[in-house]
Structure 1
């Protein structure tokens, strides 16, 4: 392992990160930084980090170094402070109260280490009414309404427990993006700063369009018929997208997720199913917006029957022959690493662990020149690198210069040129816009398809367009292509989101744009990559959810054949809920990978290294996020699954009925038991019950513990329990039964800082999700979306074009918009 501050082979070489994380989002953030070449020094207690209790710890901790310190010991705290003097970054996941207790508050760190970038990841943020709540993932999912939105998972009415840690992934990469932006800003100001993010906004960043759908419903009651669930309570389709996102089994019982969302793809889909003649009948008028549940179900069953007439092999052959057909097999997380595209790109690797032997896991999120970004190294043994704390090996970072303290956005002066459509790629650039980058989105004259995904004008694309400048150019024409080249000359980085070789055919690929601006940084992203067996296919969140194993993890389905039509219907609903609920799905996961990759490419460029053919893919990024589930080795413990009613994992991490709904209790750690038992002592004597005397006994009598707690929680309202138990430092919140995108717009969440005001040309003044990071010094931006070509004239004038020339180009339909 390299010494502190020594070089590695990655773009973040020389960057020293001290990692105090003890929870998943911190581990995922620093794993990404280590994969990019940073020297990540994991500080863990002498008996090892709690992260080592994760079955996937060999992959989560890979490439890091381990030093052991007891942060409750004054001598070890001094050693930590010596280590921080030589660091560029510190990442921690402490609750605010814990940081205060040991003197590692943000203010204290900024004063003591002015050069340091400090990233803090908490459950609820450091301010607001929820700051002292326990930061368990499930508490955030319950309190914000996501468990309500995922209710299709459960075979009963009511909210459902969610297995995958969406909020943790969003917060992890928000921290990565904040850290890299602060480091880029430090090169100008010479100063570090504190970067804060939290699981609430991390979760909120997952949704592609539902925020504005909910806003429209709230503003114009009665104008639209809300469909807040894809299926009704009888497992019948409600949302028209169900037909484009069909879930059903083949003749040989293999479940497929189709993804035929765009007009071109849905046309090809109906032709393949030989349904165009049927569609011409008057009874289907208005398709896909069919007026009754009976008609929708009849059409659904026709599609199911026709898919079920062919075997998996026959469907795979059809998809190979027709590039406008796209369907994915529902895979387990481990099987996902055998996906044909994953094998082609070598995105599954095996690392030899000194104790565990071969550990199979995803490669790095970013690939360059067709290879993983760096060579992945095994996780460290506990305290393996304690010698790295030798004072002689540590070098103090420069101190803060005197002068005015700048507060401009950290990415001020950075220009991003974006080519792409829909959400997963473009939202990665949106994340940089919130950090102060100028993002110029090149759109076709008709606009990004995302704009029309929701019936209300522009509601579908409003979130992905936040903070961008839209320039409508038809670059299939020579004069339009020349305009694109002029834009490329003035930008720092390009994001290109076309599938397969489409960019190369259009001459806006990396080679073509670097020919006009050799200094460009460049990131390419798509569903499956630039070449390989799936590169030509369209990718949407549900299909990638199926291919990556995400849908099976959340749904707990086994992928086996249905026994009858009723079973098929109910399992289709559950599988859909596993991977296609808008609030949390693959689009948001992949978008974060794009945002982080863009900042790595910018950082590399600033340090004299150009990444060539830097590629992220939607499938590869979701597989990366699935490391807690797809890492495999001979002695890996079995996956823990929620109960079959989707209440939760065990008696101390589950939903309970209150008198007016549900609460979620989160007190799974042995150290949390005393506080819980004391808080509930007026209602039940848990201390006196020998079945619950220790963690082992509680696990052995989990059903009895659930039975003991159930009647207690039924005696009060959910908010009464939330306030009573939270005041005693027990993790407990109400399970909100409303859609999260609406919940985050309500006054309590707005006042807590999870949403902010913006002004849109379509929606005028409205609330949008807050920027995911809060900086101690730098400002962020929180702008609204834009209309098609809203900035065309202004940007073209910057290129030196006159009004007459712009009018001429508009008359030729080479440019559009204002």
Structure 2
């Protein structure tokens, strides 16, 4: 058994020996092979002449790190033949071709299975291979528009209509879903001897990041009139109407530093009001019912008081406050690059500076998962395009020598994680949803929760609506772990589980008796993952982690919110606060979901490494590190880095060719930013405007210099027809353009349109009966998936206790003494 030891850099990594061929050209594909390279796999990147499109991304040195690069023109027979020769000896193949292109060049699941029976292929698309939109361009903006994400985040701006969403949420979701599929398929291959194709797409990847509004929307539409909906935090005048605005206050200091507070518990809110000097004012009957104030005038008046009190102190003075008063804390709104200066990030050494030939020092995020030994492998620079062309024949020869055949007979088509049991200690979403997605792949997950229930269950007024998504497919064990008898139940259970994940702050797990050392003493074969908000040790380890705080700390809010400049006056402070709230606290896409998928990845990596004889003590992934990893295309830093496009002040888009436009009956989103896409757009719009002869737009430099004029021209054109007319006409001509849904994403994805397209499936819940839930985010050509509903508190306590030897009398006694709940 190989073990990564403390104070020892892992030179090879847990996936050493695996050969990966990466022919992808988009961000999620690059993120998949980056993760595999970070874990020690040998990644051979297949680039077209002139280099991959990934090299046009600012973060390319980090995305391509540690890989080899060969040049193959897959438009030619020779290029495709040489790719096929490489695949003979590969373990994993990653590509992002649109489905029709993959079919045309013979990369279907059947063809790959026949020619390379042990190959695991990750196929990542924008819309999925069997969707009615399968051949649409895979730009994230198009997915955000059509799914309703731009509507969910409409309060990024106070103007009417949808708002541009900028952060690469969907790419992260699709990449992690693909990684889950690759690792699960490799685990299956250990048993069956056969590979298969795993699929992920941006739509399902984005849907995975949503926390609880799916069931909030379900309740609102199933029981109209029973509840008063409040799907936006601010009214049409920008005044708070959600009481959480006070607990999650966003405010600027005297010297213009924006901070995200998170005083969500009652005692923390009380401490917060005392610190601000506002607690005595609540004795005035005027504020009766706080924080549920009845009028917009009162809500704005109290909001103004809080903003002014924060603004009374400088950032340094607030830092001294946090040191003095541990019940009050805040995160700075950092840029993606500035997130690397976070004290916890610095403490954990999760940033590395790599000398990149031709560029110099490149500052970039470390590996997603760390162990007691630190990063999973030694990070190496990215290759130049075609750097390994001279070794291509050698690589092909090595691949041919490695050729392997699958065993005779048919391989099973069961659930890839069938027989795997996970014991989970965690609450809310960031950790627990990472195991929920693994139940779709067949894992058994026992969710350990207190007798009063996981707090996420009560986040929405309707019973269980808050926790329905995170509990999907799980078994609930309600037990008081802090009691000796409750801990004994856990210790009895752990002898028969494969994986444990804990999401507590700091060293809480060890103090409760469920730390790695304690549980591995009972089950040496256990794989243990720490998944806290910040870390198990370090300056922020004991702090609670909330999604808005992590979004602020990692630079996600600054990216989606268009920056964090100091406000000029109180009016601007209020407008920017509303924008930053929409950027970081609207839960259709934020750090909770980002971190959850990283947890799923960490668990599968640990399990596969264990099966390969590699131990990874102290395996840890955190909310903050996952959020930073999701931003790797934007937070990588070096001299001469290309400019990063930022959203305009009204949140229409990045520029004229990646932007929202009004149609005759709503909105469309146009995505044609690359030079090679201009000709198709010109041809498609020729019946309406002569762009070809307009010298202002003759080349990319001219289009950028005259961006405002191009916006004006295109605005006039798009306003002449309906949104679905434009979608139909332009997509038929290979131009990226879709209607913008004017419904919240969580409801839009439950609609008949998305259900019929396969993005939602039916499940049966003890609370919601038959309902629609998000479809499994990873799909397999041979293995199966399932889509179960959530469970109620303590629903499985009796059965679980019986499985470890407790009889009816003993269970009744434990219930009577409030040791367990059923």
- Report the TM-score range of the alignment, normalised by the length of the smaller protein: over 0.9
1:352 touches 1:378 (CA, 8 Å); kept in 2?
yes
**Alpha-carbon distance, 1:325 to partner:** 2.6
Classify 1:263/1:490 alpha carbon distance in 2 versus 1 (closer, same or farther; 3 Å): farther
- Inter-partner Cα distance in structure 1 for 2:252 and 2:752: 44
1:331 touches 1:559 (CA, 8 Å); kept in 2?
no
Q: Alignment partner for residue 652 of structure 2, among 622, 629, 647?
A: 647
In the alignment, structure 1 residue 90 sits paired with structure 2 residue 96 = no
**Alpha-carbon distance, 1:554 to partner:** 1.1
- Inter-partner Cα distance in structure 2 for 1:771 and 1:279: 48
2:250 touches 2:258 (CA, 8 Å); kept in 1?
yes
**Alpha-carbon distance, 1:581 to partner:** 1.2
Aligned-partner SS, 1:614: coil
**Alpha-carbon distance, 1:370 to partner:** 5.6
1:398 is aligned to 404
Superposed counterparts of 1:434-583, under 5 Å: 434-560=440-566, 562-583=567-588
In the alignment, structure 1 residue 711 sits paired with structure 2 residue 697 = no
1:355 is aligned to 358
1:428 touches 1:595 (CA, 8 Å); kept in 2?
yes
In the alignment, structure 1 residue 111 sits paired with structure 2 residue 117 = no
- Inter-partner Cα distance in structure 1 for 2:132 and 2:730: 15
2:258 touches 2:564 (CA, 8 Å); kept in 1?
no
In the alignment, structure 1 residue 168 sits paired with structure 2 residue 174 = no
1:126 is aligned to 129
Q: Alignment partner for residue 50 of structure 1, among 49, 53, 60?
A: 53
2:663 touches 2:722 (CA, 8 Å); kept in 1?
yes
- Inter-partner Cα distance in structure 2 for 1:272 and 1:710: 50
2:335 touches 2:563 (CA, 8 Å); kept in 1?
no
Classify 1:37/1:651 alpha carbon distance in 2 versus 1 (closer, same or farther; 3 Å): same
Superposed counterparts of 1:252-401, under 5 Å: 252-369=255-372, 371-386=374-389, 387-390=391-394, 391-394=396-399, 395-401=401-407
- Inter-partner Cα distance in structure 2 for 1:138 and 1:795: 45
In the alignment, structure 1 residue 211 sits paired with structure 2 residue 217 = no
- Inter-partner Cα distance in structure 1 for 2:156 and 2:77: 49
Classify 1:509/1:205 alpha carbon distance in 2 versus 1 (closer, same or farther; 3 Å): same
Aligned-partner SS, 1:332: coil
More displaced 10-residue stretch of structure 1: 496-505 or 150-159: 150-159
- Inter-partner Cα distance in structure 2 for 1:643 and 1:476: 52
- Inter-partner Cα distance in structure 2 for 1:282 and 1:778: 63
More displaced 10-residue stretch of structure 1: 679-688 or 51-60: 679-688
Superposed counterparts of 1:678-693, under 5 Å: 678-693=683-698
1:44 touches 1:67 (CA, 8 Å); kept in 2?
yes
Per-residue Cα deviation, 1:725-774 (whole angstroms, up to 9, x for no partner): 11222111011111000000000100101001111111111100111011
**Alpha-carbon distance, 1:96 to partner:** 0.9
More displaced 10-residue stretch of structure 1: 392-401 or 515-524: 392-401
More displaced 10-residue stretch of structure 1: 543-552 or 299-308: 299-308
- Inter-partner Cα distance in structure 2 for 1:724 and 1:392: 47
1:83 touches 1:389 (CA, 8 Å); kept in 2?
no
Q: Alignment partner for residue 180 of structure 1, among 163, 180, 183?
A: 183
- Inter-partner Cα distance in structure 2 for 1:808 and 1:97: 62
- Inter-partner Cα distance in structure 1 for 2:659 and 2:61: 28
Query: Over aligned residue pairs, what C-alpha RMSD do you find?
Result: 1.5
**Alpha-carbon distance, 1:432 to partner:** 1.0
**Alpha-carbon distance, 1:274 to partner:** 4.1
2:124 touches 2:200 (CA, 8 Å); kept in 1?
yes
2:560 touches 2:583 (CA, 8 Å); kept in 1?
yes
1:193 is aligned to 196
Question: What is the number of equivalent residue pairs in this alignment?
Answer: 810
**Alpha-carbon distance, 1:511 to partner:** 0.8
- Inter-partner Cα distance in structure 1 for 2:84 and 2:154: 47
More displaced 10-residue stretch of structure 1: 805-814 or 298-307: 298-307
- Inter-partner Cα distance in structure 1 for 2:53 and 2:24: 9
More displaced 10-residue stretch of structure 1: 308-317 or 538-547: 308-317
Aligned-partner SS, 2:686: coil
More displaced 10-residue stretch of structure 1: 376-385 or 171-180: 376-385
1:3 is aligned to none
**Alpha-carbon distance, 1:443 to partner:** 0.4
Superposed counterparts of 1:9-88, under 5 Å: 9-88=12-91
In the alignment, structure 1 residue 233 sits paired with structure 2 residue 236 = yes
- Inter-partner Cα distance in structure 1 for 2:646 and 2:233: 25
- Inter-partner Cα distance in structure 2 for 1:313 and 1:599: 42
Classify 1:398/1:692 alpha carbon distance in 2 versus 1 (closer, same or farther; 3 Å): same
1:768 is aligned to 773
More displaced 10-residue stretch of structure 1: 624-633 or 477-486: 624-633
Classify 1:455/1:267 alpha carbon distance in 2 versus 1 (closer, same or farther; 3 Å): farther
- Inter-partner Cα distance in structure 2 for 1:559 and 1:318: 23
TM-score (normalised: structure 2): 0.96
In the alignment, structure 1 residue 675 sits paired with structure 2 residue 680 = yes
Aligned-partner SS, 2:446: strand
2:173 touches 2:208 (CA, 8 Å); kept in 1?
yes
Aligned-partner SS, 2:476: strand
1:619 is aligned to 624
Aligned-partner SS, 2:341: coil
Classify 1:700/1:275 alpha carbon distance in 2 versus 1 (closer, same or farther; 3 Å): closer
Q: Alignment partner for residue 808 of structure 1, among 789, 795, 813?
A: 813
**Alpha-carbon distance, 1:381 to partner:** 1.1
- Inter-partner Cα distance in structure 2 for 1:485 and 1:274: 47
**Alpha-carbon distance, 1:97 to partner:** 1.8
Per-residue Cα deviation, 1:114-141 (whole angstroms, up to 9, x for no partner): 1111111101001121111111100000
Per-residue Cα deviation, 1:99-155 (whole angstroms, up to 9, x for no partner): 123222233212211111111110100112111111110000000111112222225
1:325 touches 1:537 (CA, 8 Å); kept in 2?
no
Q: Alignment partner for residue 436 of structure 2, among 419, 425, 430?
A: 430
**Alpha-carbon distance, 1:493 to partner:** 0.7
Aligned-partner SS, 2:51: coil
- Inter-partner Cα distance in structure 2 for 1:283 and 1:792: 47
Per-residue Cα deviation, 1:216-268 (whole angstroms, up to 9, x for no partner): 11111111111111111211112221111100112333211011223443343
Q: Is there any run of 5+ residues in structure 2 with no aligned partner, and where?
A: 1-9
